[in-house]
Structures are given as C-alpha cells and as structure tokens.
Chains A and B, each alone.
Chain A
Amino acid sequence: MITLGEVQETNKMIREMNLDVRTITMGISLMDCAHSDLAVFNLNIYDKITRLAEKLVKTGEDLERQFGIPIINKRVSVTPISIAAGGLKTDSYVPVAETLEKAAKEIGVNFIGGFSALVHKGFTEGDRKLIESIPEALSVTERICASVNIGSSRSGINMDAVKLMGGIVKKTAELTADRDSAGCSKLVVFCNAVEDNPFMAGAFHGVGEPECVINVGVSGPGVVKRALEEVKTSDFETLCETIKRTAFKVTRVGQLVAQETSKRLGVPFGIVDLSLAPTPEIGDSIAEIFQVMGLEEAGAPGTTAALAILNDNVKKGGVMASSYVGGLSGAFIPVSEDHGMIQAVQKGALTLEKLEAMTCVCSVGLDMIAIPGDTSAATLSGIIADEAAIGMVNNKTTAVRIIPVVGKGVGEIAEFGGLLGYAPVMPVNSFSCASFIDRGGRIPAPIHSFKN
C-alpha cells in the first residue's frame, strides 16, 4: 500500500525540487521519404512527420495531468537529413529545413532535431551540401537543430570536417548576430554521437533505430541537490549512495512516462536518458550540487572529481530503474542554462580550460559557452579538435556547442532566452592554432579502436 510519506516525498520532489520529465522525443525515420525531386521529398517528410507525431503533444499533456508531473518539452528527431536527402538533386538543403520547421509548427513541438550529417570518416556529396546549408538554415528557422559528427573512437577524427565546422559555427554566429548569435545554440559538433539521444540540440534518429520510437529524457538536478543537503557532512560512500538512490527514483518516473507514451501512441519505447540537465532556474543547477558537495564555486579544485562522482552514480542508480537506459545519460554542464555555472564564470572561478577538463568525466562536453565574437574560425576548430580528441581517446561522447557572440567581448552578457538562458562571454586562449588546423586529413583512430 502506498503511504502518505511516499506520496508527500514524490510531490515534494515535483513541487519544490523541480523534478520533471524534461523531454519526450519521438524519433522518426525518413529513409522511405527519399526522392530526387525537392518538392516531392519535402512533401514526403512533411506528411510523415505530421502523421506520426500528430498526437505527440496531446499525449504528453494528458500524461502530465494524469501523473501530476511536468513534462517540459515534446520534440521530434529525424534521420540525419544528409542521409535521407542523399538522392536529392539540389544545391541547398535550406528548403528542407524550412519544411521541417513547418512540420514542427504544425504538430506543436518546440524543436526538431536531425538537420545532421555523420562525417567521422569522410564526406558524401550530401554531407557537404548539408553542412554548407547549416548557417542559413539556422538563421531562417527557429525550431531546427543541427548536428555534425566529426569523429569517433573507431574511425579517428575527420580534421577536414573540424576545419569546415569552425567556419560553419562562425558563419552561423554572423547570420544570427541580431539575436546574440543564438543560431549557434542549435548547432552541436559531436565526437562519438549516440543514435538515441532525446536531448536537443544534438538529437537525431540514428540509422540503427526502428521506424518510429519514443525516447524520454528525465532530469532532476534540484532533487539530487536537496537529497545531498540531507547528508551534508557524511563521507563519500554515503554521498554516492544518496545520488544513486535519487537517480533511481527519478529514472523510474521517466520509465513510467516512456512506457505510457509508447502504449498510447502505439510506438515502441526506445530508451530513458537519465541526465541531470539544469535550467536557468535557481535550485535546478549542477553547479549548486557541487556547492552542496563542499566546493565554494563550480570550477574550484575538486570540481572534476565531484563531477566524476555525480556522473557515475547517476548512471549506477539509473540502470537498475530501467532496462533500456541510453542516450547521453549522466550530468550535463552547459554554462548558459545553469544559474550556478553562470555565477561561477562571473566570479572568475570557472574557465574554459577547467570546463574542458570537466568534459573528460561529464556526459557530453563544452556546452552553451559564449565566447568573444572576434574568435577566429581556426580557434573554433582548435576547440572542436581538442574536445573531439577527449571523446575519441576515452571512448565517450563529447560535443561542442559554443557561441562566438558577434559584437560582444569578454564579460558582456549574451541572452538566448527561455531554457537556453544567458551567458557571460568567456575569454579564449588567443594563441593561434591555424597551421595545425590547416593540415587537414584525418587523425587515425587510437590503438584501442581494434576491439572486436
């Protein structure tokens, strides 16, 4: 029998500690929409997305009411467009992005992910055209998210793509200069991208996935923080145990929502991604968890260790709660979306270099970081290369979502709005890496890629 204490605990987690299901993402394969004619292809993808995801938002809202848990985002991810549109005879994929935008509006989702290309080993013609369309596509649409996978532990790093992406990020920033270069907040450069990630901006529907699938992302930095406050002076074992138990409960909620959504829509359930994804709200921050763990600010010595503990125990707690845990499960460390991280940057406690070190043990990478608008394309490529190398060598996913804010310098604030938050512009090491990036070609895969 359910007890009063348990009911109170659950509702307290929801009401006071910001426990929520962050996102329900419906993955849709667009493989069968392929066509050489642009108009037919656009019609095919529009029809398929609006048909399959027609009831997605409504179902999410129903479940929200029924269980009394907020479900913040309902989203769609599609087959990487460079693959689905491989046969398309066109020079620009911008009209495809506009079609996706129209479909997203029609079904009422706030983001649609999959304006993507996977080029970790090399480019196809379609990949190149897609990547070149990204800056314009992101400037003329609001809901499209783009991602490019430029490296993997198996294939190494495609340095031609790294070089290209430095320029693409810069161009995207310039084309959206009137919005603090917010176009870049919808562009992720990955190494070891996962195929079942429900979190934007990096979500796409991988080629190994079924026709249509429901993936759910749960989040609860606030819940973990409050649980840790109760064991403030205890040793590390208790600390880890507390994170594990909390992650378990949080993931169970995601599992329930995922199963119900899947049942109601008649679409198979894919994975639960149990990530601690912060929001700009006070009390929903990863940086605040570090403070409860005993660090004065995020970025202080010990931060990498604290993040490693957090990330690992979130995963340990979650795997028991659902048989299909996937995506990017762990702790996200975006700057602009995390109230405590923003403060840490403003106080000078957190630097780009420390963030890079932290990405060795977090679940994604350099995320939502504003840097000066005059940063060169080569430097952006250098940052991408460093981050990709961390992912490649350590067999983990890493990503770069960095925003060179046109017209702003160190210390100024860039505003992205809503869940994307705001960020102080951080300094970047100004020594050049241009000759290094200009080499091009591919960095061979590390020795441990020969596992099979």
Chain B
Amino acid sequence: MKGIITVLGKDKVGIIAKVCTYLAEQNVNILDISQTIIQGYFNMMMIVDITAPAKSFEALIEDLQKLGAELGVEIKLQHEDIFNTMHRI
C-alpha cells in the first residue's frame, strides 16, 4: 500500500528534514521524492510505503497535519488510489 504526501507552502530551511525524520520514526519508507519551488513556494510530493507503519494511517495523517502547522506549510497524506483511479484507465 502506498501513500502520497504533498507539502505546500512558503519555502524555508528544514522542511524535508523534519518530514523525513518523522517518517523514519514511524517506519514509513520513502520510495520517491519530487520537489519544485515556484515563486518562493515550496511544492513537494513523496510516494511512501505505508505497508507497516508504527501508527495507523489516520494517525499519520493527523500527525503530519500538525507537523505542517508547526512548519507553516500544508502537509497532506492521501491513499494513492485516488490518483490512480482518476488518472489511469
């Protein structure tokens, strides 16, 4: 099972580090990262393996939201299925 994490907000030092540290603590493996900065706005997508996280998917979503609030960015974790069904036939 894979999850998609998106991070959106004003760029600053340490966003990736904080997110990655949290994921490592929760036993969530990062499979792919792509990131761009558009006009000072940080825009990142991660594909992560959520087969065996330490916490439930719901708890991860909540934690990441809180982490986002601390960093002043918006962090979202969604199940990959919504993107697969919408964009792949």
Bound pair (A, B): yes
Q: B-contacting residues of A (Cβ < 8 Å)?
A: 1-4, 6-11, 62, 65-69, 249, 252-253, 255-256, 260
Q: Within the complex, what minimum Cβ distance (angstroms) separates A189 from chain B?
A: 37
3 pairs of A and B residues whose beta carbons are closest in the complex: A68-B78, A67-B82, A256-B85
Inter-subunit contact A253/B58 (CB<8 Å): no
0/1 per residue, B43-76, Cβ < 8 Å to A? 1010100000000011001000000000000001
**Interface contacts beyond A7-B83, A68-B78: sample of 6 additional A-B pairs, CB < 8 Å, sorted by A:** A7-B45, A8-B43, A10-B82, A10-B86, A62-B58, A260-B81
Q: Is the CB of B86 within 8 A of A253?
A: yes
Complex contact A256–B58 (CB within 8 A): no
Q: How far is the CA of A3 from the CA of B36 in the complex (A)?
A: 13
Output the least CB separation between A7 and chain B (Å).
5
Whole-angstrom distance between the Cβ of A248 and the nearest chain B Cβ:
9
Interface of chain A: mostly helix, strand, loop or mixed: helix
- CB atoms of A68 and B76 under 8 A apart: yes
Query: Please, which residues of chain A bring their CB within 8 A of the CB of B28?
Result: none
Chain B residues, Cβ within 8 Å of A252: 85-86
B76 and chain A: residue at smallest CB distance: A68
B residues whose Cβ falls under 8 Å from a Cβ of A: 4, 6, 32, 34, 36, 43, 45, 47, 57-58, 61, 76-87
Bound-complex Cα distance A1 to B45 (A): 12
Residues in B whose Cβ lies below 8 Å from that of A65: 58, 61
Q: Which residue of B lies closest to A11 (CB)?
A: B6
B6 near A6 (CB under 8 angstroms)?
no
B82 touches A69 (CB 8 A): yes
A14 to B25 alpha-carbon distance, docked (Å): 30
Q: Max chain B CB contacts within 10 Å: which of A62, A69, A252, A260?
A: A252
CB distance from A16 to the nearest CB of B (A): 12
Q: Chain B's nearest CB lies how many Å from the CB of A410?
A: 45
Q: Is the CB of B4 within 8 A of A253?
A: no
B34 touches A67 (CB 8 A): no
A270 to B82, CA, bound (A): 20
Contact in complex: B36, A256 (CB < 8 Å): no
Q: How distant is B67 from chain A, measured CB to nearest CB, in Å?
A: 16
Q: Are A6 and B85 in contact (CB under 8 A)?
A: no
Q: Out of B6, B36, B79, B85, which one reaches A7, CB within 8 Å?
A: B6
Given contacts A11-B6, A256-B85, is CB(A66)–CB(B47) below 8 Å?
no
A2 & B87 in contact (Cβ 8 Å cutoff): yes
A260 to B82, CA, bound (A): 11
Tell me whether A249 and B81 are in contact in the complex, defined as CB-CB below 8 angstroms, given that A2-B4, A2-B47, A4-B34 are known contacts.
no
Q: CA A185 – CA B34 in complex, angstroms? A: 49
Known A65-B58, A68-B78; contact A253-B6, beta-carbon cutoff 8 A: no
Answer whether A2 and B78 are a contact pair too, CB < 8 Å, given A7-B6, A65-B61, A66-B57: no
A325 to chain B, nearest CB (A): 15
- Collect the chain A residues with CB atoms within 8 Å of residue B61's CB: 65-66
Q: B32 — which chain A residues lie within 8 A by C-beta?
A: 1
Task: Identify which of A1, A3, A62, A68 contacts B82 (C-beta below 8 A).
Answer: A68
Shortest beta-carbon distance from A18 to chain B in Å: 16
**B54 to nearest A CB, angstroms?**
18
Could you name 23 residue pairs across A and B whose Cβ atoms are closer than 8 Å?
A1-B32, A1-B47, A2-B47, A2-B80, A2-B83, A2-B84, A2-B87, A4-B34, A4-B36, A4-B43, A7-B45, A10-B82, A10-B86, A10-B87, A62-B58, A66-B58, A66-B61, A66-B78, A66-B79, A67-B81, A249-B87, A253-B85, A256-B81
Q: In the complex the two chains form, is A4's CB within 8 Å of B82's CB?
A: no
A6/B87 contact (C-beta < 8 A), A11-B6, A66-B57 known: yes
For residue A7, which residues in chain B have a CB less than 8 angstroms away from its CB? 4, 6, 45, 83
Q: Which residues from chain A contact B58 at a C-beta distance below 8 Å? A: 62, 65-66
Residues of A within 8 A of B85 (CB): 252-253, 255-256
CA distance A2 to B34 in the complex (A): 11
B-side contacts of A249, CB under 8 Å: 86-87
Give Cα distance in the complex from A9 to B87, angstroms: 10
**Residues of chain A within 8 A of B34, CB atoms compared:** 3-4
Enumerate chain B residues within 8 angstroms of A9, measured Cβ to Cβ: 87
B76 and A11: CB pair below 8 A? Answer: yes
Closest CB in chain A relative to B20 CB, distance in Å: 18
Which residues of the partner chain B approach A2 to less than 8 Å between Cβ atoms?
4, 47, 80, 83-84, 87
B84 contacts which chain A residues (CB < 8 A)?
2
On chain B, the residues within 8 Å of A6 by CB distance are 83, 86-87
> Most B CB atoms within 10 A — which of A2, A9, A62, A68?
A2
Q: Flag if A253 contacts B82 (CB, 8 Å).
A: yes
